[in-house]
Amino acid sequence: MPLRRWFAHAREHPGGTGFSSLIVTHDDWRSVMEDLRAAGGRLIALWASREAGVDHVRGVALAESRGLIASLPVQGDGEPSYPRLDDLFPAAARMQRAILDLSGLRASDADGRPWLRHSAWPAGYRPLVDAAAPAAGSAMLDRYDFVRVEGDGVHEIAVGPVHAGTIEPGHFRFSVVGEKVLRLEERLGYVHKGIEQRFTQLPILEAHRLAARVSGDSSVAYSWAYVQALEGLAGTEVPVRGLWLRALCLELERLANHLGDLGALGNDAGFSFGLIQFSRLKELLLRAQQQALGARYLMDAIVPGGVSYNLDALGSEGLRARIRAVACEVAKLRTTYDEHEGVRDRFMGAGTVSPELAVQLGLTGLAGRASGQPFDLRVDRPWAPYTELAPLKCGRTEGDVAARVAVRFDEVQESCRLLDEILTRMPAGPWQTVVELPRAGLLGAGLIEGWRGPVFVALETGEGGTIRRCHPHDPSWQNWPVLEHAVIGNIVPDFPLINKSFNLSYSGHDL
């Protein structure tokens, strides 16, 4: 009942997106979040915004298949503060630190160490608030206080931020005894690109291209979440064919990422045959995409009002044939993985996250489904055309690397089934329509289940087709802290394998 009273006072967002907004007082901020937590709600994102000269902290959570955006006006002399949420939702800890770095609002009695700044700008400068940029070279190096583990035989291993491979930078500080990990502390934020500030410099009808580049492996998910928010504010009805083509692109993105990960995970277990075969399958899929849709990677597929790529009969048949071949070959490769003793030995029991810990820490997406958290927006909060496609959930309860690999195998087959159904049932008609400029002063939201997990975009409109604020959120914010727990008790050489089994985004996390 307490949760219902908050929704009863909230204002529904336009466009039927399933979100409601509520302005709360300083005292109610904690109360509404406590009620959301008690109802099994999930914190999706936390960010700051300035509206009519007043700073607001906004938090969005899902509960009972409904979305609630709570906004808290934060005012006061000196350094304004707001009640912390990380004791209710542990994933909020780093989001609160990012808010402090970018907007200057501090969560009271919470960790205040810098998260995104890395001395790239002076400590007093707030990129999303201050108009004047700091002078070049005005930032000074600061000391970052890692948590120390003391005891006989304990020593530290520092890895990164520069790595030997092509991955983006991240620092991992291991406290170990022998080769066994006692603690891992991550420090990310090295690829901070100023994306949120850049959004405010783009026309609202063109910024979907930037959304598609927040995290390159989730281009379709981000651009769809952005245009979903925009179209809801503008009251746009997207053509049915356009929606089905969007679902086609989203499932192709999921399939390509899973193929790449399954190969990389085999390689990390010393099984290079797996890498070779899955790399081959991914390459053949990308070539089929290019032939059918005109692009290997679908960064510019989703546009306001529909899609930019149409699909003809020849392209459809070629894509269908490739997808069916992928499904057949992956089924055989799964048997190979399952029967290979060396692979099984590396996968099973490594990097375990129990269902109880997953609930406590808010583990989400693919990794969550491998730890007994059967949450998938395509099923639990479906949007068109998933309301007609009825996807099947894939999940496990063991929570180890083997479980996360098994979920990937299951989702490959399910995406192949969905893609075949989409291509078979693809409706005729237009695939794009015109989107009118929404009026100023509106707040919209988009939420899409990407291959990694829920991708969220909050969009606030300005005057004359401008963007006052846009906040994209990657599920990696929820899952990076869980990786720190997953490696405890494992040996250091297993970290690359465990890390890859989550495959979290640096770029989507470090806006």
pLDDT tens sequence across 385-423: 999 999 999 999 999 999 999 999 999 999 999 999 999
Would the pLDDT of 164 be above 80?
no
Q: Tell me if 443 sits within 8 A of 10, measured CB to CB.
A: no
* One domain, residues 342 and 467: yes
* One domain, residues 11 and 74: yes
* One domain, residues 295 and 402: yes
* One domain, residues 165 and 204: no
Neighbours of 153 (CB within 10 A): 8
For position 286, which CATH number holds? 1.10.645.10
Instruction: Output the six-digit token pair for 406.
Output: 């098994």
Q: What is the pLDDT of residue 75?
A: 81
Specify the 3-state DSSP secondary structure of 502.
helix
What is the pLDDT averaged over residues 88-95? 96
Range in 77-81, 122-126, 433-437, 489-493 with the lowest mean pLDDT = 77-81
- pLDDT class of 135 with cuts at 50, 70, 90: confident
Would the pLDDT of 308 be above 70?
yes
Residues of the chain above pLDDT 90, percent? 80
Q: What is the pLDDT of residue 13?
A: 73
> In the block, which residue shows the tokens 């009863």?
8
Would the pLDDT of 263 be above 60?
yes
End-of-domain residue from the set 107, 140, 162? 107
* One domain, residues 199 and 178: no
What is the pLDDT averaged over residues 497-505? 96
- pLDDT class of 352 with cuts at 50, 70, 90: very high
Q: What is the overall mean pLDDT for the chain?
A: 93
**509 found inside a domain:** no
Q: What is the pLDDT of residue 14?
A: 64
Q: What is the pLDDT of residue 509?
A: 86
What is the pLDDT averaged over residues 440-462? 96
Would the pLDDT of 1 be above 60?
no
- pLDDT class of 16 with cuts at 50, 70, 90: low
* One domain, residues 272 and 398: yes
> Max alpha carbon distance in the chain (Å)?
71
Report the distance separating Cα 242 and Cα 223, nearest Å. 14
* One domain, residues 342 and 226: yes
**511 found inside a domain:** no
pTM equals: 0.96
* One domain, residues 180 and 85: no
Q: What is the pLDDT of residue 77?
A: 67
**479 found inside a domain:** yes
* One domain, residues 204 and 262: yes
End-of-domain residue from the set 76, 107, 138? 107
**145 found inside a domain:** no
- pLDDT class of 2 with cuts at 50, 70, 90: confident
Would the pLDDT of 173 be above 60?
yes
Q: What is the pLDDT of residue 248?
A: 98
Q: What is the pLDDT of residue 234?
A: 95
Alpha carbon separation from 297 to 252, 254, 291, 300 (Å, rounded): 10, 12, 12, 8
Would the pLDDT of 163 be above 90?
no
Report the distance separating Cα 247 and Cα 102, nearest Å. 34
| Helix locations, 133-218, DSSP H | 195-199, 208-211
* One domain, residues 220 and 170: no
Residues of the chain above pLDDT 70, percent? 98
Q: How far is CA 394 from the centre of its chain?
A: 18
What is the pLDDT averaged over residues 79-88? 91
Q: What is the pLDDT of residue 204?
A: 98
Q: What is the pLDDT of residue 336?
A: 97
For position 14, which CATH number holds? 3.30.460.80
Q: What is the pLDDT of residue 15?
A: 62
Closest CA to 402 of 374, 377, 370: 370
**213 found inside a domain:** yes
What is the pLDDT averaged over residues 124-139? 79
**144 found inside a domain:** no
* One domain, residues 182 and 223: no
**245 found inside a domain:** yes
* One domain, residues 351 and 400: yes
Q: What is the pLDDT of residue 438?
A: 95
Q: What is the pLDDT of residue 376?
A: 96
Q: Tell me if 22 sits within 8 A of 425, measured CB to CB.
A: no
> 443-456: b or e for each residue (b if 16 or more CB lie within 10 Å)?
bbbbbbbbbbbbbb
| Total tally of structural domains belonging to the chain | 3
**119 found inside a domain:** no
The residue that leads in pLDDT, 289 or 160, is: 289
Range in 69-83, 196-210, 269-283, 408-422 with the lowest mean pLDDT = 69-83
Between the CA atoms of 157, 162, 167 and 170, what dihedral angle is there, to the nearest 10 degrees?
Answer: 60
> 312-342: b or e for each residue (b if 16 or more CB lie within 10 Å)?
eeebbebbbebbeebbebbeebbeebeebee
Q: Which domain holds residue 408?
A: 195-502
